[in-house]
Structures are given as C-alpha cells and as structure tokens.
Amino acid sequence: MSFEYFTSILVPMLEGAQMTVLLFFIAIIVSVPLGFLLTLAVKSSFKLVSLLAQGYIYVMRGTPLLLQLLLICFGLPMLPVVGEYLVFDRFVAACIGFVLNYAAYFAEIFRGGLLAIDKGQYEASKVLGLSKWQTTTRIILPQMVRVTLPAIANESVTLVKDTALLYAVAVPELLHFAQTAVNRDFTIVPFFVAGMIYLVMTLFLTFIFKGIERRYKFE
Amino acid sequence: MAIIEISNLKKSFGKLDVLKQITFDVNKNDVIAVIGPSGSGKSTMLRSLVHLEEINGGSITIAGEAFVKDGVYAKPQDIKKITSKMGMVFQHFNLFPHLTVKENLELPPKLVKNEPVTTIQQRSMELLRKIGLTNHAHVYPANLSGGQKQRVAIARALMMNPEILLFDEPTSALDPELTGEVLEVIKALAQEQMTMIVVTHEMGFAREVANRVIFMDNGEIIETGHPSELFTNPQNERTKAFLSRSLK
C-alpha cells in the first residue's frame, strides 16, 4: 500500500465529501426552522392546521427516507400531467427529500422541548405584559433550544450518516467514490478511508455542539 | 376610593365551584393577607385578578375600570391595559432561567414600556440595591438560593411600576430559614405604602404586616377583619378551627 495510492483515492473522496457537507448544511439550515414552524402548527388552535401538521409528521417519520428520496427523484416525474414539471436535478431532489424528512424529526424534538418548559414561564410573561410573540421569541425559544440541544446534536450526527443515501439516487458523493475505488482497484482500503472521513465530520460536529451547549448552560 | 373592587366572583371547574360569590374591596395602601386551608380558592381568586384564570361570573374593577363585568370580559387590549396596573409574585418565582438577574429585571420593561433604556437600567440598579443583590446582577437564577430568587422576582414585578402587587404564597416554596429575607422585603414595601394582597400561610407575618385579614374556606370569604381582632377573637367556628390548627 503506497502513499501515492492513498492520496490518489483520498482526493476524489474528499471532493465527494463536499457534496455530503453541502447537503448537510442545506438540510440543517432549512429543516430546523421548518421543524419549528411545524411544531407551532401542531400546537395551533386551528384544528385543521394542527391535524395537517400531525399527519405530515406521521407520514414523514413513518416511511423510510430512502423511499421518500426515490419517490421524489424517480416517482414524481411519472405522475400524469404534472410529472413533466417535477423533474429536478438529482441533488436538488435529494435536498428537498432530506429537508422535508428532517423537518418532521426536528418538529418532534421541539415539541418535546416545549413540553419541558414550565407553565409558570408563560404566566410570568403574561403578567409582565409581554405579547405572545415576545413570549415565544424571547422567553420560550431560548429555553427550548437549551433543552433540545442534545437531541438536535444527535439528529445532526444521524443526518451526516444519512447523506450516504445520496448513493441510491446516483448523486456522486463520498461513499460513491469509495465504492468505485473498491471495485476498480479490488481493495478494501477506500471503505476505511470513507469511514475515517465520516468520523472526522461527526467528531467536528460533536465539538461544535458541545461548544453551543456550554454557551446555553445559563449558569 | 377602592383601587380594586371585586364583586360576586364566581368560578367553577366543571361541577366544582372553587369561588362562590367572592366580594371585597381593596383600598389604596392596603396590605391584605388572605389566609385559609389549601384548596380554599385563595390562589384562584388572586390569579383571576391578573387574568391568569377566567371567572364565570362577577366583576373585577381596577382603579375605576372594569376588565370583567358580570362575567363578561372586556376586549383583550383593554384587559391587558387594566391588568398591567398589577404585578404578581409567584410561589415558584418563575424567573427566566436563560437571563441573568439584571436581564430578568430589564427585559420586560424594555419590551413593554416606552421608556429610555437608561431609565430602566437606573431603576434596576436601584431595586437590586434595595433587595441587597447588587453583587448578583450578572448571575443566572440557577446560582441563586430560593430566598434570593424570590427577592429578584419581587424586584422584577416592581420594575413595571405596578400600583398593586399580588403575592401568591411567596414563601411556601422556601426553606424555613429563607422565608425571613423575603418577608423583610415585603415588609419594607408595606412601609412604603405599596398596595398589596398577600396569599400566605405565614400567620405571624399576616398579623404583623397586614391591615386586614381575609379568611377563605371552600371558595367563600368566611371572615374578614383587622389582624388584632381576627387572630385573637375570631367570630366564625371555621376560622377558629383553622387558626387553632395553624397557630399550634
């Protein structure tokens, strides 16, 4: 095993990892706020809005992410009449799938976080004259973030690993290059390299979340 | 003139009547102690004054303006305006855990009141000095003792410049050795002529500070009077029974 071989597979794999990282950031940046909106929808006093949001979360969490990705990439274009307008770039389609799926998971995490907040916080806010919006953004949200951070960190690590599903919809990413190298060179090494890269990414993520948790300790 | 007029307050949870025809007035500078056994409706009565509970009948008038009249509530913005004359101190403090002591004091007026920030900061420093926690301005509530938390909660309520301060069992969640420091703050407010209603189990405190004591049982006001009369010479049998139990 030469060092030259190692670098020769590492470079394309790192390029593939860029896709992984890009998908991760898009998914997390869009699905976290979307998830919070879903939580608010679930808690809405409009019954219809609440039921729709609950139904959405049930479907998204109750079916495999892989199925959802395949449906968006290959299923939607088959629909009669509207199908021809639903042909997305594979990567875009995958982003849509990840965002829609993860928003449902984050919504459940946030719902749990809201349950952990004492009703006295709402009462104190009301008596002090804060509006509902002020109460939500200034009092409830920061406390919810603190409560849910460990769960969000956990979900984020899962998201990093789930990006490997891009393989199934033929978007060239980290795992794709590893698999190609394994087949071409008949060696197990690329799998280990891929594993290392995933580990580095999740380790980095763990450190970031530990830092955020320290900032939100309120002690 | 009465600053709070409460008449025929009625509230029920399902079939259970928690408040039955509660009527009393509060004058400016009154310190009223509300005593009675658990479940007598004391807290519910207090909470209905700041619209944390909806009543099913009766009227509440604050400084001449009714926010609920014969069981019919005013418009939300009117309710808010009228109830903003009152501050409330809770049994479990309800400080905002993600804000420091100073931020707990300053955030609500910054969001709600139309005042220059410097005025708000000045007032918070003054109040911190008054409750003896100047050195804790940048500490989070998690690092305070129960007594300190409750003193901060009182200061936070005072930041809104209320005309009336309501206390819902302010010392019930405290260790016995910490109740004194909180009661001292309330006593100091009484000396400054703050109008207050205090729901309490501290009979000694009620006797010393209140100018009127209301004894509630089973959703009704059973007896009311000056502490010197009510504690030494209660007229009603239920008052006698309660006092002999709690003064033991």
- pLDDT for res A88: 83
Residue B145 dihedral angles phi and psi, to the nearest 5°: -75, 165
What confidence tens digit (pLDDT) does each residue in B160-211 have?
A: 999 999 999 999 999 988 999 999 999 999 999 999 999 999 999 999 999 9
Q: Which residues touch B136 (CB under 8 Å, ≥6 apart)?
A: B101, B128, B144, B148, B152
Residue with tokens 């982003």: A95
Q: Has residue A174 got a pLDDT over 90? A: no
Tell me whether residues A126 and B84 touch, CB distance under 8 A.
Answer: no
pLDDT of residue A94: 92
Task: Supply the Cα-derived Rg of chain B in whole angstroms.
Answer: 18
Q: Inter-chain contact B90–A121, Cβ cutoff 8 Å? A: no
The per-residue pLDDT for A57 is 96
Residue A128, chain B, CB below 8 Å: the answer is: yes
**Tens digits of residue pLDDT in A31-79:** 999 999 999 999 988 999 999 999 999 999 999 999 999 999 989 888 8
* Higher pLDDT among residues A6 and B68, named by residue: B68
CA separation for the pair A85, A6 (Å, rounded): 43
| Residues pairing with B17 in the sheet | B12
Average pLDDT, chain B: 94
DSSP state of A137: I
Q: Identify whether the C-beta of residue B76 lies closer than 8 Å to the C-beta of residue B154.
A: no
Interface of B with A (CB under 8 A): 50-52, 80, 83-84, 86-88, 90, 92-98, 107-108, 111-112, 140, 142-143, 156-157, 160
The SS3 assignment for A73 reads helix
C-alpha distances out from residue B124 to B53, B159, B195, B213, Å: 29, 7, 21, 32
Contact flag B112-A146 (C-beta cutoff 8 Å) = no
- A15 pLDDT band, cuts 50/70/90, is confident
3-class SS of residue A117: coil
Confidence tier at A84 by pLDDT (50, 70, 90): confident
More confident site: A49 or A16: A49
Cα dihedral B96→B100→B104→B106 (10° resolution)? -150
Q: CA nearest A131 in B: which residue?
A: B112
Query: For a pLDDT cut of 90, what percent of chain B falls above it?
Result: 93
Would the pLDDT of B247 be above 90? no
User: Minimal Cα–Cα distance from B223 to chain A, Å?
Assistant: 29
| 8 Å CB contact of A134 and B98 | no
User: In B, which residues are within 8 Å of A121 by CB distance?
Assistant: 94, 96
Mean pLDDT of B70-85: 94
Q: What's the token pair of residue B207?
A: 């006797």
Calpha distance A148→B7 (Å, rounded): 46
Tens digit of pLDDT for each residue in B137-148? 999 999 999 999
| pLDDT tier for residue A170 given thresholds of 50, 70 and 90 | confident
Helix (H) or strand (E) holding A94: helix A90-115
Separation between Cα atoms, residue B29 and residue B211, nearest integer Å: 9
- Comparing CA positions, the residue from A109, A2, A5 lying closest to residue A57 is A109
B162, closest residue in chain A (CA to CA):
A128
Phi, psi values for residue B213, rounded to 5°? -120, 135
pLDDT of residue A171: 87
CB A141 within 8 A of CB A151: no
Q: Residue A27 and residue A95: Cα distance in Å, rounded? A: 6
Q: What is the pLDDT of residue B14?
A: 86
Q: How confident is the model at residue A217 (pLDDT cuts 50, 70, 90)?
A: confident
| Cβ atoms within 10 Å of A83's Cβ, excluding its own | 12
Nearest to A129 among B80, B95, B97 (CB): B80
CB B98 to CB A142 under 8 A? yes
pLDDT surpassing 80 at residue B109: yes
Instruction: Provide CB contacts within 8 A for B152, sequence distance 6+.
Output: B93, B95, B101, B104, B105, B131, B133, B136, B141, B144
Determine whether the interchain pair B142/A139 forms a contact, defined as Cβ–Cβ distance below 8 Å.
no
What's the CA gap between A104 and A63, in Å, rounded?
12
The three-point CA angle A198-A103-A99 to 5° equals 60
Confidence of residue A215 (pLDDT cuts 50, 70, 90): confident
Rounded Cα distance between A92 and A87, Å, is 10
Could you say which of A118, A121, A129 has the minimum Cβ distance to residue B160?
A129
- Count chain A–chain B contacts defined by CB atoms under 8 A: 58
Q: State the best of A119, A125, A127 to mutate against chain B, taking most chain B CBs within 10 Å.
A: A127
Minimal Cβ distance to B108: which of A123, A130, A218: A130
Q: How far is B78 from chain A (nearest CA, A)?
A: 12
Q: Which two tokens stand for residue B9?
A: 């307050």
Predicted pLDDT at A52: 97
Mutation test of the interface with chain A: which of B91, B98, B165, choosing the one with the most A Cβ atoms within 10 A? B98
| Least-confidence region, from A79-83, A209-213, B50-54, B221-225 | A79-83
Measured between beta carbons, which residues in chain A are less than 8 angstroms from residue B96?
A: 121, 124, 139, 143
- Using pLDDT thresholds of 50, 70 and 90, give the confidence band for residue A1: low
Is residue A134 helix, strand or coil?
helix
Question: Would you say B141 and B80 are in contact if contact means Cβ atoms under 8 Å apart?
Answer: no
Local confidence band at A13 (pLDDT 50, 70, 90 cut-offs):
confident
- Record: contact A118-B51, CB cut-off 8 A: no
Phi-psi region of B172 (alpha: psi -120 to 50; beta: other; left: phi over 0): alpha
Picking from B94, B149, B152 by the largest number of A CB atoms within 10 A of its own CB, the best residue to mutate is B94
Nearest to B111 among A130, A142, A143 (CB): A130
Average pLDDT over residues B114-120: 95
Residue B108 pLDDT greater than 80, yes or no: yes
pLDDT at A218: 83
The pLDDT score that the predictor gives to residue B248 is 61
Sorting pLDDT into bands at 50, 70 and 90, what band is A7?
confident
- Residue pLDDT, tens place only, B30-64: 999 999 998 899 999 999 999 999 999 999 999 99
User: B32 to chain A nearest CA, in Å?
Assistant: 20
Read off the pLDDT of residues A85-124 as tens digits, 9 standing for 90 and up.
888 888 999 999 999 999 999 999 999 999 999 999 999 9
Give the separation between CA A218 and CA A213, rounded to whole angstroms: 10
